[in-house]
Amino acid sequence: MSDLFWLTKTGMHELAHLHFADADASYEDARYAVFGVPYDGTTSFRPGTRFGPRAIREVSFNFESYDPATKIDFSEVPITDLGDLAVSRLPEDLVGQVADVAGDIVRDNKVPVILGGEHTATVGAVRAVRPDVYIVCDAHLDLRDELDGTPYSHGCVTRRVLEAVEDVVVIGARSGDREQFEIAAERTHLYTADTVRERGIGAVLREVREHVEGRRIYLSIDADAIDCCLTPGLGTPEPFGMTPLDIREVVRALAPYAVGFDYVEVAPFDSGQTAAVAAQMVREFIARHWVAGR
Ligand code: MN
Ligand code: MN
C-alpha cells in the first residue's frame, strides 16, 4: 500500500466519519476497499464536496446491516475502509495520488470504492483501473479541455477519461456547451436526462448492458445526475434530472460488470438526502457486485 497517504487505521472505529458502516475487514481479507477523497480544490460554483466522504460515512450507520433485496448482511461481506486520502492541493497531484492508491488496490485483487469529493478523483481511478468501458451518470458532460486554467478541473473529467478509455457511456446529462455536446455525440454513447425520461431507465439499461456484456467497466456516479430538487446537497445543482431510483437501477444493473466504483460530488449542506442516497448506492454497489461474484 502507499501507506504514506493514509491516516492511521488505529482508532478508526471510534471515529464514525472515518469508517463506512460494516467495513470491518482487514485489508488483507477485504474484497472491497473504500476510501475517501475529501477534495474540492477546483470547485467553480459552491464549495463543500470536501465534506462529502465524512457525511456519507456518518449516515451509513443509519442503515441496517441486512439488505433484504439481495439477502446479504454487510457484516458478512469483506469490506475495509482505508480512511481519507491526505489530499494534495493541486488537482494534477490529487489525480496521481488517487491513481497510486487505486492501482495498489486493483493489484491486490480488490475493488476500489471511492467516496467524493469532487469528480476529479475519478480521473486517477480510471487511469489505475484501465477499464474497457467507462460509464458515468452526471448532469454535466465534463468534456471541457480546460477550466479555470487546469485540465484537471471537475469540468474536464470525462475529457481526461477519453484519453485513457475509448468506450464511454454518459447517462443523465443535461448541461454543457455546444462544443461539448458535439464531442459527446461523436465520441461517447450519450443518454441525456431527457432520453432517460422518455425511454425509461429500464430500456436505456437493457441497451447499455448489451453493450458492456463480458467487458470490464468503471462506474462513476456524480451526485448531480440526480435532480437537485430531490438531492440538493450539490456544488453545481441542476434540475430536471434523474431520480434516486433511476440511479439505483443503474447501480443494480451494472455493478456486476464493474472493477471500480465511485460516488462523488456530495456537498452535504442539505438535510442529509444527498449523503443518504450516496451511502445507499455504495451499499447497493457492493451488494450487487458481491452477489454476482459468488
Ligand atoms: Mn461531474
Ligand atoms: Mn456534475
Question: Which ligand has the shortest distance to the CA of 121?
Answer: 1
| 159-202 confidence digits (pLDDT tens) | 999 999 999 999 999 999 999 999 999 999 999 999 999 999 99
Rounded to the nearest 10 degrees, what angle do helices 273-293 and 52-60 cross at? Answer: 70
Is the Cα torsion angle 172, 37, 234, 186 positive or negative in sign?
negative
Q: What proportion of the chain, given as a percentage, has pLDDT over 70?
A: 94
Residues sharing a CB contact under 8 Å with residue 223, sequence separation 6 or more, in sequence order:
52, 231, 233, 234, 263, 264, 265, 266, 274, 277, 278
Cell numbers that stand for 46 in this block: 459552491
Ligand 2 centroid–CA 223 distance in Å is: 7
**Mean per-residue pLDDT, 105-133:** 98
Answer whether residue 278 shows pLDDT above 90.
yes
Answer whether residue 254 shows pLDDT above 90.
yes
Ligand 2 centroid–CA 219 distance in Å is: 14
Q: Lowest-pLDDT range, 10-19, 81-90, 115-124?
A: 10-19
Question: Which ligand has the shortest distance to the CA of 220?
Answer: 1
Q: What proportion of the chain, given as a percentage, has pLDDT over 90?
A: 92
Question: Which ligand has the shortest distance to the CA of 157?
Answer: 1
Amino acid at 167: D
**Mean per-residue pLDDT, 39-66:** 95
Confidence of residue 153 (pLDDT cuts 50, 70, 90): very high
Q: How far is CA 175 from CA 122, 144, 179, 225, 246, in A?
A: 19, 12, 12, 10, 18
Q: How far is CA 108 from CA 31, 75, 102, 105, in A?
A: 9, 21, 10, 5
Res 17: pLDDT: 59
Res 292: pLDDT: 97
Ligand 2 centroid–CA 286 distance in Å is: 23
Ligand 2 centroid–CA 97 distance in Å is: 22
Ligand 2 centroid–CA 44 distance in Å is: 11
Answer whether residue 110 shows pLDDT above 70.
yes
Ligand 2 centroid–CA 167 distance in Å is: 19
Res 294: pLDDT: 79
Mean pLDDT of the chain: 94
Residues sharing a CB contact under 8 Å with residue 245, sequence separation 6 or more, in sequence order:
201
Ligand 2 centroid–CA 291 distance in Å is: 30
Q: What's the pTM?
A: 0.95
- Residue identified by cell 458515468 is 136
Answer whether residue 219 shows pLDDT above 50.
yes
Which residue segments constitute the domains of the chain, with CATH numbers given?
Answer: 11-293 (3.40.800.10)
